[in-house]
Amino acid sequence: MRFERVKQLFKDDFKKIQEARVLILGVGGVGGYALDCLYRTGVKNITIVDFDRFDETNQNRQIGADSGIGEIKVEKLAKIYKGVEPIEAKIDREWVENFDFSRFDVIIDAVDSIEAKVALAQKNYKKLIMALGAGKRFDSSRVEVSTIFKTDTDPFARKVRSELRKTNFKKNFTVIFSREEPKSRELSSFVGVTGTFGLFCCSEAIKVILKRGDNGD
């Protein structure tokens, strides 16, 4: 059976995994691997949001890019991962402010926009798992789970913290970040790190799901 080995690991909690509702924002090098991991673990209710199309430069790290050049990412991935709900939308502050997040148990933020990340934290920090800077690095052993105000080294994380402080935001939430210093000034990426970020996001999402009570709390 497809999920037999997953069931052997999670026992009765596997039902929680199947019934969980997960939202993935951004399905590039990080979000795509989070999607693959959650789908293979048995999460049935996954919604993915992105506005971009696959291009040749995505092929070094993004699931779906090899056979999907020119296709809308969420539509291509919905063909690969049957049952996933695709939403084609640009994730910015306005979209975050207007979108109804109430039906989701976990929100995985794999977008690149600092403005959108700040808006997500302000609105949904209790459900949020945020991926920070995954590009420009090649040492996957330096990837860690922390909380936003306990991150260091990552310039992208520093910018997010700075913008949150400007709004007097003091709450904490889970983040995935790397202690490795960026190795390039140019746009660059290595799937060993971006994929690791996505798998960490998935693992943290499963932890959140397993902590939910039988009544969904």
Q: What CATH code is carried by the domain that includes residue 178?
A: 3.40.50.720
User: Over the chain, what is the mean pLDDT?
Assistant: 96
Report the SS3 class of residue 88: strand
**CA 84 to CA 91: how far, in whole Å?**
18
Dihedral of alpha carbons 96, 177, 59, 77, sign: negative
**CA 47 to CA 216: how far, in whole Å?**
18
Q: Domain of 180?
A: 4-211
Structure tokens at 179: 């202690």
Structure tokens at 106: 């976990």
**CA 86 to CA 74: how far, in whole Å?**
5
Is residue 43 assigned to a domain? yes
Is residue 216 assigned to a domain? no
Is residue 217 assigned to a domain? no
Is residue 83 assigned to a domain? yes
List all residues 6 or more positions away from 170 whose beta carbon is below 8 Å from its beta carbon: none
**CA 131 to CA 137: how far, in whole Å?**
14
Q: Which helix (H) or strand (E) holds 87?
A: strand 85-88
Judge if pTM exceeds 0.85. Answer: yes
Is residue 52 assigned to a domain? yes
> Cβ distance 6 to 41 under 8 Å?
yes
Over range 119-132, report the average pLDDT.
Answer: 98
Total number of domains in the chain: 1
Question: Which residues make beta-bridge pairs with 177?
Answer: 144
> Cβ distance 8 to 175 under 8 Å?
no
Residue 19 pLDDT level (bands cut at 50, 70, 90): very high
CA dihedral 14, 19, 20, 23 (to 10 degrees): 130
**CA 81 to CA 75: how far, in whole Å?**
10
Q: Residue 215's pLDDT is what?
A: 47
Q: What is the pLDDT of residues 128-175, one digit of tens each?
A: 999 999 999 999 999 999 999 999 999 999 999 999 999 999 999 999
Q: Residue 1's pLDDT is what?
A: 87
Residue 22 pLDDT level (bands cut at 50, 70, 90): very high
